[in-house]
Structure 1
């Protein structure tokens, strides 16, 4: 057990780059984490970490880190397999989720999920970074968009529709584009994770075409896209889960509806080895139940269109 504790502490220090942050995540004193690292290096006869403003892996540390990740993941999977026999929704569920969707919709849903299953401990990391479920110690992730082929199991929660939109003030000053070709005369707020080179890929007829739109701002934040569009800086592409309230209030206006880019789905993904996990099955069911299909933001837009 001491070896597993040392491995867990080592992986956490390597992931965070900080003894203090590792101690915070582990719920231990910094001195205890430092002591475990010193004992581990002494036992192995090798320096695993370069100490400094940020802890960095040595060459031998890189090798040991990869082994530790696999071993700890296998320990988790073994526990999951045993827990699944009793169909008990308990233990720890470590989930990665995207920022904008979490702030707007997911946070209260996960709070209610935790309340329904009091024996379950949720560990939620909210970040737009795409985590590697095979190499990092996450049980599952919420993914938004088109999912590439992979060995992961994907449970679709609902569709993720995108729209092109701008503020009424921007459209009054610059005109409303009627075709994708007209985008060359407009300004845009670009989402760097989707449009790193300032190109929009839109459906035209039966295919996809790319169009350059002059950038006024680049950001990796969905909320920043929305605020910049409200401020009249240009056109932007937003998921309807973010844009719906502003479309209803009139602060944003949808344009080029026939050429709205594909948004894929909002999905829960996890490793195939965890297909029998009671807590993941419970989470997938709960998300489908609470978010629904159509989801609340699409119902909002449908009601708004019916009233017009």
Structure 2
């Protein structure tokens, strides 16, 4: 059983190694959280694995009534049983693969649904561009995306624009209008979360900031190119390294300051990114 934010339930439900998902609706407030604590306690799980060393994660572990608890925790380490530098799977003698490309399973149905949404773009190589992010400072500016997409189109490559949110929809329309090519496919807001892995698995490369799309690509071992500014690249079991990381030129990189007024990802040149991505795709196609 997996405990996950309610919006991620569709993303997890089709995984063959997940029997059930406990949804956590954070918008419902504290009452929902305490109800969740009681439910976890009633389930009488034999093992608990936490991937969040947070206060709420610690409370869930504390009230879970579970004897074996694992987390790479920091200040809450006393609540967990396993040494921080030891894998949960090794500690509990579970034969689970941990390499990239094995943690998230894209089923044939997911690929089929994604291909249907992508249309003819799914039949030829394409670059998936994740144009959004949870915070504005983590986004590559629309102007840079326009330039990058134009480079790709001039080279005869397809670009699929992906993401969620009203601002992302507006940005995608601006890019689509500016480049004006049938090689550009705008699917922002159109791919259900349950099918996102399918779309990513069909792509030849993913260009993205610190977003879910980037990390799904890393889980699937799809070639990715990371655009980084206020946050470092998350590391973890099953996450492949990007082919290349492009960092902001701001000296305060990885500051985690969401209110910073300095230019951040805008300092990453679209031509620099394009040159690296195109060279990678050329090498790959010649093999």
**Scaled by the length of structure 1, what TM-score is found?**
0.30
Write 1 or 2 for the structure with the bigger share of strand. Answer: 1
Greater length-normalized contact order (CA 8 Å, ≥ 6 residues apart): 1
Q: Larger C-alpha radius of gyration, 1 or 2?
A: 1
Write 1 or 2 for the structure with the bigger share of helix. Answer: 1
**Scaled by the length of structure 2, what TM-score is found?**
0.31
